[in-house]
Amino acid sequence: MSLTIPMTRTLLGMAAGLALSAGPLTAQAQSDEDVKMGFIVKKPEQAWFINEQEAATALGEEKGFEVVRLSGEDGQEVLSAIDNLNSQGAEGFVICPPDVRLGPAIMNRAKQYGMKVVTVDDRFLNSDGEPMEDVPHLGMSGYKIGEQVGNAIAEEMDNRGWDPDEVAALRITNYELPTAKERTDGATAALLESGFKKDNIFDAPQQNTDTSSAFSAASPVFSKRGDFEHWVIYALNEESVLGGVRASEQYGLDPDQVIGVGINGSGAAFAEFSRETPTGFYGTVAVSSTMHGRQSADNLYQWITEGEKPKANTETAGKLMTRENWEDVREELGL
């Protein structure tokens, strides 16, 4: 999430105000043979979301419905995207929101147009900070995926014969995004359970969820903690872990001094694994973004055409992908 807190509050107010001021609107009905839906993502340039939208589009071509791929990087852009979809006659949309707290305002606007909504990856929260159970969601258990990351790091530390008391952990955080907190909390818990020292975990708060923001957050931590020779790195996704790895390289750490494990299984990881020389990016817990895009779109399609509302919350699992097995895992998960 790239929004600062003041900016987010402003957008929340704008979104709510626009939704409430829109007035009664009429949904544009369509036949089952001419279904159109939207697929709105918060970071359209990231490989994960590119895969999701492409998978949804491919399913639409198979089943005979149209997917309109849109960007929603902030509250205003999401509301504009919904207006756009209504003008095109869409009956609903799948969305990964830029801010989960925008859920009530987004649903207000969608209901005025008579649209059905399914969230993917990040789940809407209500005004009390609780999940909006009435909005079907498809995602992964952030905490369990995080535990997989922590266990993978602990196992590789053991393989390398590292003494946990002498290893530092770079935890790249973004606590404004609940999904990010769940993932890093899960990884932290698994590390501590394996015997890692709590005092050796250092936070690097990032402003966004990409490589450059993680690099900026990680660099000062390495500079201040030069007494550690071995480091492990984890975050909410592999782009952020890669930012930490790049910062470790700039600081002068060799690949065999670093164990970075990300989450997703996207082009960023594939490129890293394809390098001629290994880097500190050891692995990533791969989840099928293709499956997420395909299944969430299919859930919405069935809801529109058959009246079958999807489950309130569907969670998917991940699989560890490393330099040794990444091509096999990629094929297995359809990435």
Separation CA 329–CA 232 (nearest Å): 23
- Segment 131-181, tens digit of pLDDT: 999 999 999 888 999 999 999 999 999 999 999 999 999 999 988 888 899
Can you tell me which residue has the tokens 């932290």? 188
Number of Cβ within 10 Å of residue 325's Cβ equals 15
Can you tell me which residue has the tokens 């830029």? 98
pLDDT at 5: 38
Mark the ranges of the chain whose per-residue pLDDT is less than 70.
Answer: 1-33
pLDDT at 88: 97
Can you tell me which residue has the tokens 């990856």? 121
Pairing of strands 281-286, 319-322: antiparallel
Residue 67's beta-bridge partner residues? Answer: 37
Is pTM beyond 0.85? Reply is no
Separation CA 23–CA 21 (nearest Å): 6
Output the six-digit token pair for 316. 């998917």
Q: Return the ∠ at Cα 30 (arms to 108 and 71), rounded to 5°.
A: 50
The amino acid at residue 165 is D
State how far the alpha carbon of 153 is from the alpha carbons of 63, 96, 111, 146, 258, in Å: 42, 29, 45, 11, 10
State how far the alpha carbon of 192 is from the alpha carbons of 186, 189, 199, 285, in Å: 10, 5, 10, 19
